[in-house]
A and B are shown apart, each in its own frame.
Chain A
Amino acid sequence: MTLTVGKGLTERAERVSAVAAAHADDVDAKGRFPREAVDAMIAERLLSIQIPVALGGEDASISEIAEVCSVLGQACSAAAMVFAMHHIKLSSLVSHGAGDAWHSTFMRRIASEQLLLASATTEGGIGGNLRNSICAIEIDGDTCRLTKDATVISYGAHADAILITSRAHADAASTDQVMTVFTKDQYTLEQTHVWDTLGMRGTCSDGWLFKGEAPKAQILPKPFAEIAAQSMLATSHLLWSAVWYGIAVNAVARAQAFVRAAARKSPGVTPPGALRLAEASNLLQLVKSNTIAGLKEYEAAKADPDRLSSMGFAVAMNNVKIASSETILSIINQAMLICGIMGYKNGTPFSLGRHLRDAHSAQLMISNDRILGNTSNLLLVHKQDTSLIG
């Protein structure tokens, strides 16, 4: 199976990337939303590429979306992550809402108005396990109401709609969850936490007390457990990995520029950083191969809900996330050693502080320890795949 990306799409992504790059340092320094980059995404109509053509989108594949994530990640991690998170939410709508009247109409709206989707799966008291909810949706006739102490809603204040999880009804078990779409006019947000972090500062992942009321038709028709297994977890790990790969690519590009400048100054002498650059290039290829393998696996499994819900698939996606989130730190660290003080300092063409700080979020957004714990549980019954190609 070969993965392809339309030429026009790459060019559109590169135009957005140029805008994102121009504002990346300011977004980071001020911890502000990457407004210019998101406006550029809207102008290029990138927020609806995943939606089926019949509903006004472009039917973009996960690989095409990942390529855009990588191109944006090379410019501004926060803008790339906003784009990735929007498309992770959209994947749930496309995979599980296409046969449903309200959600199909809503997808048309996303395409025509270029609406930005946010996610509210985290809740105070659940200990980081998004497959549990404390809050429950209240159904009253044709209306549903929800109040949630959402400790993190990335770019919540800037989104046009929020996809939010809760228990399916007042008596439901904590794992019996649904996901509901609320549009901006249907909820209020009262800020409870401020996102002042080491990196990924521009995602503005503040905490909010969410209160919403909407027609109950806006509840996604599938249980959230299926949505999580079949679209959300896989697309999260893959699109995040694509963003992280982009951050690492840009760090290596800066290190390579540094080594090449040194080589030009002293022809005949191999610069001291050259060997480390070769090592960084090797690690970068590992992250790329790992991400591509994951994308191919997802595209191959996409049409088969049984395969998407299988343990083997969950193990494979978990492994993609663990490997890319850990390896990019080694890569950026190598790049920093190559560029030396010029990499450590802000405001040089070789600065890597932002890359390194942003990359540190990768192991924490769904903690790698939690993911390894999940994989280790699955491996008690699932047998490791022994084939190389299959």
Chain B
Amino acid sequence: MKQQIRDILARHGGLPVPMSEIADDADLYAAGLSSFASVQVMLGIEDAFDVEFPDNLLNRKSFQSIDAITRAVTGLVGKTEAAA
């Protein structure tokens, strides 16, 4: 999952540094993630994992780092599977 998230960040994140230089717990906003790009990343993730972010996850904290995104997506994928 982390690799997929990294690929999406590489495609939509518009970060000035290559993804290989960004640690899983690094602050993505400090690395240059803009609020516009963060929405594009969210859309990419919704599409790739077939999930929809509820409004309570649509904040800076959920997208602060690759680890935070992974936690948010893991929670959502779990819910979808439980519902299915």
Query: Is B66 positioned at the interface, with any CB of A under 8 Å from its CB?
Result: no
A388 surroundings in chain B (CB, below 8 A): none
Whose C-beta in chain A lies nearest to the C-beta of B42?
Answer: A381
Query: Is A374 positioned at the interface, with any CB of B under 8 Å from its CB?
Result: yes
Minimum CB–CB distance for A375 against chain B, Å: 11
Q: How far is the CA of A229 from the CA of B34 in the complex (A)?
A: 13
Interface of A (DSSP majority class) = loop
Q: How far is the CA of A199 from the CA of B67 in the complex (A)?
A: 49
Q: Give the contact-size bracket for chain B.
A: 20 to 34
Query: Is A183 positioned at the interface, with any CB of B under 8 Å from its CB?
Result: no
Q: Are B35 and A173 in contact (CB under 8 A)?
A: no
| 1/0 contact string of A214-235 vs chain B (CB within 8 Å) | 0000000001011001000000
B61 surroundings in chain A (CB, below 8 A): 306, 309
Q: Are A310 and B34 in contact (CB under 8 A)?
A: no
Q: Are B31 and A311 in contact (CB under 8 A)?
A: no
Q: Are B59 and A173 in contact (CB under 8 A)?
A: no
Q: How far is the CA of A312 from the CA of B55 in the complex (A)?
A: 7
Size of interface on A: residues with Cβ below 8 Å to B: 23
Q: Which of A231-252 contact B (CB under 8 A)?
A: none
Minimum CB–CB distance for B5 against chain A, Å: 16
Known: A374-B35, A378-B39, A380-B43. A311 touches B59 (CB 8 A): yes
Q: Which of A162-189 contact B (CB under 8 A)?
A: 168, 172-176
Q: Are B59 and A175 in contact (CB under 8 A)?
A: no
Known: A309-B59, A310-B58. A175 touches B34 (CB 8 A): yes
Q: A310-B59, A311-B55 are in contact. List 11 more A-B contacts (CB 8 A).
A: A168-B30, A173-B15, A173-B32, A175-B32, A175-B33, A175-B34, A225-B60, A306-B61, A380-B43, A382-B55, A382-B58
Interface residues of B, Cβ cutoff 8 Å to A: 15-16, 29-36, 39, 42-43, 46, 53, 55-56, 58-61
Interface residues of A, Cβ cutoff 8 Å to B: 131, 168, 172-176, 223, 225-226, 229, 306, 309-312, 374, 377-378, 380-383
Question: What are 7 A-B pairs at a CB distance below 8 A?
Answer: A173-B32, A175-B32, A309-B59, A312-B58, A381-B46, A381-B58, A382-B55
